[in-house]
Amino acid sequence: MNRWLDINTDDPRNAKVLILGIPFDGGTSQEAGAAEGPAKLREFGAVYMPCATDDWHLLDTQPVVYDFGDVDMSGTWEESFARIEQEALAVMRYGKFNLFLGGDHSVTIPLHKAFAKAREGEKIGVIHFDAHFDLCDCYDGHIWSHANTEKRALDDIIDPEDLLFLGIRAAEPEEVGIIRREPAITVLSASDVDEMGWKECAAVIADKFQGYDHIYFTLDIDVLDPAFAPGTGTPVSGGITSRELINLVRFILKNLPVRDMDIVEVAPPLDVNDITSWAAMRIIEEVFSYADRNL
């Protein structure tokens, strides 16, 4: 069993947070390495401080976490994505808080599909934190790359009014065209976060998703400025700070119906002193703390 702060349970029915690793980076377009993200985060999770949140909420003996391990990534791209969707759907059906550890951002494509099946008949939305829109229809000859994530979501599971981006600061011409044609898509750029402040951005997020039953929250670690997350495949200068990200994640968990979340694009081989993995672990700690107190 993978150890998470010794707060594991050996039965997923007794957990508050279920974890599934997805060690895949075949959809990356620049630097690989995100396939090693789940293993690194588990390594850190076994030794991380049990009270790392700002209010020092102690995680010590409660059985908060069950870790299913990693999805098998052998075989073709299509076979791997089919397994991701199938296994994620099985995890989601336990009715817990589900945390998926990538992997590059292409893994969110089958995760989105599983999410839509698990929440069939309900009003669903997507919050996407990233430096990039990932709205290309086809990129580097692929329709399942990490640049296609939310285009596939718009094709398959949601409408434009159900999608919100935060942290964007790079775009392909094709993506700019989609954003201009679809004003119902909400975009809070990295500049918006800087100029408006995280609290005003949080208010925009909360207002948009009033009345939704479930929201999928996908967090690409490159939403952070490379000063805070250098270990990622497509870093873009000018991102948000770790402090802003922590505040926004805490707000979203507390105020919106998020029970399905991923953290993707953590690439340990590209990191400096494990800065990026530690940043991701800080967010995982927020998830554990929230779940322990509220679920």
Output the CA torsion sign for 132, 135, 136, 138. Answer: positive
Q: Which two tokens stand for residue 272?
A: 């400096």
Question: What does the pLDDT read at residue 191?
Answer: 98
Q: What is the DSSP letter of 285?
A: H
Distance (Å, rounded) from C-alpha 124 to C-alpha 114?
Answer: 12
pLDDT tens track for 272-284: 999 999 999 999 9
Domain 12-124+213-294 has CATH 3.40.47.10: no
Q: What is the pLDDT of residues 154-174, one digit of tens each?
A: 999 999 999 999 999 999 999
Q: Which two tokens stand for residue 21?
A: 């690793």
pLDDT at res. 26 = 81
In order of 60, 169, 219, the CA distances from 184 in angstroms are 44, 19, 21
Instruction: Look at residue 182 in the predicted model and tell me its pLDDT.
Output: 97
Beta strands across the sheet bearing 186-189: 65-70, 17-22, 97-102, 258-264, 214-220, 124-129, 163-168, 186-189
Supply 155's token pair.
């094709």
Classify the C-alpha dihedral 277-282-284-285 as positive or negative. positive
The pLDDT value recorded for residue 279 is 96
pLDDT of residue 145: 86
Specify the pLDDT at position 45: 87
Q: Where are the domains of the chain?
A: 12-124+213-294
Q: Which stretches in the chain have pLDDT values below 50?
A: none
